[in-house]
Amino acid sequence: MQVKLSWEEPLTGEKQEHIFSLPIALGRNPEDVLNDRQKQEYSIVRLNSKQVSRLHAFITFVNGQIVLEDQSSNGTVVNDE
């Protein structure tokens, strides 16, 4: 399954919109934290900001629903909430 993610780059304010295959690992450097198998399985989304943890969140598909699993110490904002 694929999803479209949209965000604004914290440093430049540039709007981004990309389509990724699930599962997704988001973070400043998520590949530093993932094991070799996970690196093969996950689409990697890098967000260059000090507010973003190295591995900030996972987005997966579980029981027919898209699930965001927060891995950060700062929390995760979805749709400005």
- pLDDT for the residue numbered 58: 97
* pLDDT band of 80, cuts 50, 70, 90: confident
Residue range 10-61, pLDDT digits in tens: 788 899 999 999 999 999 999 999 999 999 999 999 988 888 999 999 999 9
Cα end-to-end span (Å), the chain: 25
pTM: 0.88
Look at 76 and 20; give whichever has higher pLDDT. 20
CA distance 28 to 55: 7
- In the prediction, which pLDDT does 55 show? 95
